Amino acid sequence: MPRKKIEPELEAAVEQKLVEEKEPVELTPKRSHPQTRSSDDILTINDQERGITPTDSDDVKWNYISGAYAKKEILTGIVSGIESPDTANPVCVVDFEGIRILVPGREMFMDDWPVNEKMPREFFMRFNRILGATVDFIIVGVDSRNHAAVASRKMALEQRQAKYYATGRVKPGIRVACRIIGVGNNRITVEAVGVDTTIYASALSWEWFPDVTDLYSTEDLVVARVLAVVKDEKTGAYSVRLSVKDATENPDLPNLRKLVPGSNYYGVVTGVRDQLIFVRLQMGVNAKTKLFHTKQMPSKLDTVSFQVRDVDLESGVAFGLITRIIRRHARTR
């Protein structure tokens, strides 16, 4: 793929940041690079073969980085900091085997905000949530006398998209190993081999749960099933719709078959929406109802007694009513 020309804005950021960083570098070629592996219908990227380790000397590390810069190869690191987060030009600090790499904020995602305007709250939240995440990047500037480098995650995403999406390797039906780059109250944001996308709670797990943060964090990997791939013909950008839940069989089915209609079971309320109460029964079954024989309506995280009246194996849900609130959650007492 031809080398992409660096935008003037990024060139300015490179020059400014390289002046600020103070350490020596020598140019030598990179020794190895990450390999891609496909097993059955799971598309994964192996980022373990990086060619250097945290215990290598600074000279070895910077030689490696210089080689990667010369070849415009993708490297992988951990987002360890966000500097100047309240300005129009935040900078992400990426740790690469103990080496500090700077990524201008506008080079972190495929989209950005108007030049010379304050960063919108949406991006502020995205930067905060990406702390601790594993990300790809391409070195776009190296100071040969001072140990300093600036990189672009956007260029790495574009290279991944050209390799996996433009060629049709990512398609509906396959499973993809995804890096979690953000966790919200009812969703996670993942990078699926070059495309950032959101997976909502309803597509995350067969098991109902009160909060996504109870299950996931930014350093995690998840396997998701590809439901749809869309290319924007005007911009050439790709989007993908994923489901973690659809990547596995429903593990609750054996427990659903054990339920006895008319019996009461212990459970925890995982959420209430439009007066519909969602419960996770202790025996490993999802249940929901709008009926409750209690003085007050049950609230999220209350422990309750749930009487099963019907079981739907196709949807994997038990139906019935809440007969008693066994214990109110501390926040509602």
CATH code: domain of residue 321: 2.40.50.140
The amino acid occupying position 127 is F
Say whether 221 sits in a helix, a strand or coil: strand
User: Does residue 319 sit in the same domain as residue 184?
Assistant: no
User: Strand 317-327 and strand 285-289: pairing?
Assistant: parallel
State whether 101 and 15 are in the same domain.
Answer: yes
Same domain, 128 and 233: yes
Whether residues 179 and 67 share a domain: the answer is: yes
Do 297 and 267 sit in the same domain of this protein?
yes
Tally of domains within the chain: 2
Integer Cα distance of 249 and 240 in angstroms: 21
Domain extent at residue 211: 1-248
Give the tokens for residue 187. 């969703």
- Residues 258, 238 within the same domain: no
Judge if 141 and 112 occupy the same domain.
yes
pLDDT recorded at residue 236 = 87
Domain end (from 201, 225, 248): 248
| Region for 316 from its dihedrals, namely left if φ exceeds 0, alpha if ψ lies in -120 to 50, beta otherwise | left
Q: How far apart are CA 158 and CA 152, in angstroms?
A: 10
Cα–Cα distances in angstroms (integers) from residue 182 to residues 79, 162, 190, 219, 220, in the given order = 12, 24, 7, 9, 10
Strands 195-200 vs 91-96: parallel, antiparallel or unpaired: unpaired
Answer yes or no: do 236 and 305 share one domain: no
CA dihedral 54, 58, 60, 63 (to 10 degrees): 120
Rounded to the nearest 5 percent, the helix, strand and coil shares of the chain are: 20, 40, 40
What's the CA gap between 156 and 219, in Å, rounded? 19
Q: How far apart are CA 16 and CA 148, in angstroms?
A: 11
Question: Final residue of a domain: which of 223, 248, 273?
Answer: 248
Q: Residues 244, 284: one domain? A: no
Closest Cα partner for 181 from 139, 125, 111? 125
Residue 199 structure tokens: 């997976």
Whole-angstrom Cα distance, residue 258 to residue 172? 34
Tokens representing 68 are: 């990667």
Per-residue pLDDT of the chain (333 residues; tens, 9 = 90+): 444 444 555 455 444 544 444 333 333 333 333 344 444 567 776 644 456 777 788 888 889 999 999 999 999 999 999 998 777 788 999 999 889 999 999 999 999 888 878 888 888 899 999 999 999 999 999 997 788 999 999 999 999 999 999 999 999 999 999 999 999 878 999 999 999 999 999 899 999 988 898 889 998 999 999 999 999 988 888 999 999 999 999 999 999 999 999 999 999 999 999 999 999 999 999 999 999 999 999 999 999 999 999 999 999 999 999 999 999 987 654
| Domain match, 257 and 140 both | no
Task: Clarify whether residues 175 and 303 are in a common domain.
Answer: no
Domain boundary among 199, 232, 248: 248
Residues 48 and 152 occupy one common structural domain: yes
